[in-house]
């Protein structure tokens, strides 16, 4: 036997580390190729990491709650495919290389060299059920017995099993999509570099048949680190705990810091009479209770119409070398919206939201909110926004000077809707009032553009019929 160590891959997300949430196997367990061995939490999602090796788990490198850098050891496996003959310290190289083993070595050279393989491969290896092996130095029972050789020749290892020939797929999110959709990655043609299987390849395979609804699992909370010292030297108070900033919280902190330090932001706000919009929605709900969009969907639809008139707010300021810079404009709007989850604040985005109706926007908002809260949202869904909506009214507050979701250029917020006295046609009346707040990057536009956009959205809320021609 030989011990092979699997290094933590980059998971296809361009990240530098991940938090080990839970081991799915233990030392001494017998595992198969493609069997999930650990759950890790990146800054963007919770994923299962499968083993590229079959054999007996020799070492688990790390404990739950620890952070592991990409490229560092994750798990060591005593493999059963290349066991030497009895009494031999190392296997002799065969004259004719085994095709399956050579294919696997080519697989390892794809991508970063730490290639994860596919879920849903034939043979029932896509399970995380533990199989406890005897804790003894003898070879695992699953290994085929090596063939006898003449006394003058060195013994060679038995041929590698077919399970070591793996499809080329780096991203655990792509593998999970294939597994939940019943797609065997061995049957998918990869269109990436050197045949790498990409998300679009799996989606193309799914389009040929129906896919079952994915099941989601609750995300375990990260344990807090124990107290590191009895007294804080600055305040003189006792220190009760120290919690490392990592994973999603570290990513959020980095983005917020970049936003505040790099973006010269400005804020404009306006009080808005939402009575007409609430009456319109109530009328729609009486007619069709099951298919009436929520207020957030109407606000999204009005926002998209406003961005069509004021596209500067849907651009991105990109600094170059020295004083050089450029404004990058986009063909469409990926509309992000703030969603509070147990893992923290996330901003999933609706791709090409400008093409959707209010009902379609409502469906996407509900789907992405549920996906973000369950930990199933993809990195693309969480990082591809070009403009953000923030409904902080759900927290019972009226306004907020929000921080722009870096590297975007603007964020529009809406506060709670409450009864307030308001003058209508010269008469004092009780109306349903809210506050809109727009925070924008002053480098991409002037106050006139920002004020014009905010006023357009406010007018749409106060008189929904006035924007029908723009929807």
Active site residues: 442
Q: In the numeric block, which tokens belong to residue 276?
A: 């007409």
Tell me the β-bridge partners of 196.
none
Report the alpha-carbon distance of residue 384 to residue 375 in Å, rounded.
17
Report the alpha-carbon distance of residue 312 to residue 471 in Å, rounded.
19
Burial status of residue 278 (CB atoms within 10 A of its CB: 0-12, 13-18, 19 or more): middle
What 8-state DSSP symbol labels residue 45? -
Q: With contact defined as beta carbons under 8 Å apart, do 268 and 429 qualify?
A: no
Alpha helix (H) residue ranges in 52-113? 99-109
With CA atoms as reference, report the closest residue to 335 among 376, 359, 302, 309.
302
With CA atoms as reference, report the closest residue to 107 among 185, 223, 44.
185
Task: Give backbone dihedrals phi and psi of 436, rounded to 5 degrees, phi first.
Answer: -100, 135
Q: With contact defined as beta carbons under 8 Å apart, do 118 and 204 qualify?
A: no
Strands 335-337 and 387-391 turn out to be parallel
* Torsion from C-alpha of 400, 406, 407, 409, nearest 10 degrees: 0
Q: With contact defined as beta carbons under 8 Å apart, do 39 and 74 qualify?
A: no
Alpha carbon 274 to its chain's center: 35
SS3 39: strand
With CA atoms as reference, report the closest residue to 436 among 458, 451, 453, 452.
458
Report the alpha-carbon distance of residue 434 to residue 274 in Å, rounded.
7
What 8-state DSSP symbol labels residue 316? E
Q: With contact defined as beta carbons under 8 Å apart, do 39 and 47 qualify?
A: yes
- CA–CA distances in Å: residue 125 to residues 1, 53, 217: 21, 12, 20
With CA atoms as reference, report the closest residue to 199 among 118, 145, 87.
118
- CB-based contacts of 346, cutoff 8 Å, min separation 6: 248, 338, 339, 372, 377, 382
């Amino acid at each position: 036997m030989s011990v092979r160590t699997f290094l933590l891959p980059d998971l296809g997300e361009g990240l530098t580390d991940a938090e080990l949430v839970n081991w799915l196997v233990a030392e001494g367990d017998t595992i198969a190729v493609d069997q999930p061995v650990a759950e890790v939490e990146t800054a963007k999602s919770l994923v299962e990491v499968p083993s590229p090796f079959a054999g007996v788990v020799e070492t688990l490198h790390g404990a739950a709650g620890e952070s592991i850098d990409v490229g560092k050891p994750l798990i060591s496996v005593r493999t059963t495919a290349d066991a030497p003959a009895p009494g031999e310290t190392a296997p002799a190289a065969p004259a004719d290389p085994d095709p399956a083993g050579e294919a696997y070595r080519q697989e390892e050279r794809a991508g970063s060299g730490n290639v994860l393989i596919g879920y849903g491969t034939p043979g029932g290896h896509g399970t995380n059920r533990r199989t406890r092996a005897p804790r003894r130095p003898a070879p695992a029972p699953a290994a085929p017995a090596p063939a006898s050789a003449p006394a003058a020749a060195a013994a060679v290892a038995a041929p590698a099993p077919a399970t070591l020939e793996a499809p080329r797929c780096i991203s655990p999110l792509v593998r999970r999509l294939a597994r939940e959709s019943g797609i065997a990655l061995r049957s998918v043609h990869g269109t990436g570099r050197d045949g790498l299987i990409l998300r679009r390849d799996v989606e193309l395979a799914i389009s040929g048949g129906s896919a079952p609804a994915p099941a989601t699992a609750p995300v375990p909370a990260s344990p807090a680190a124990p107290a590191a010292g009895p007294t804080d030297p600055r305040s003189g108070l006792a220190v009760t705990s120290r919690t490392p900033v990592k994973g999603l919280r570290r990513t959020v902190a980095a983005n917020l810091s970049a936003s505040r330090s790099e973006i010269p932001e400005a804020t404009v706000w306006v009080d808005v009479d939402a009575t007409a919009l609430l009456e319109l929605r109530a009328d729609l709900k009486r007619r069709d209770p099951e298919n009436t969009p929520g207020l957030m969907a109407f606000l999204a639809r009005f926002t998209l119409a406003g961005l069509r008139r004021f596209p500067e707010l849907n651009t991105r300021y990109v600094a170059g070398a020295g004083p050089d810079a450029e404004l990058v404009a986009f063909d469409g709007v990926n509309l992000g919206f703030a969603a509070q989850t147990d893992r923290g604040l996330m901003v999933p985005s609706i791709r090409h939201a400008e093409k959707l109706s209010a009902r379609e926007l409502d469906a996407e908002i509900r789907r992405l909110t549920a996906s973000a809260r369950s930990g199933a949202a993809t990195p693309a869904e969480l990082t591809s926004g070009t403009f953000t909506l923030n409904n902080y009214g759900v927290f019972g507050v009226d306004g907020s000077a929000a921080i722009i979701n870096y590297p975007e250029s603007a964020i529009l917020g809406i506060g709670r809707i409450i009864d307030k006295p308001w003058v209508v046609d010269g008469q004092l009346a009780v109306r349903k009032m809210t506050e809109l707040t727009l925070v924008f990057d002053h480098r991409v536009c002037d106050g006139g553009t920002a004020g014009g956009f905010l006023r357009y959205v406010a007018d749409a809320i106060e008189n929904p019929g006035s924007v029908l021609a723009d929807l």
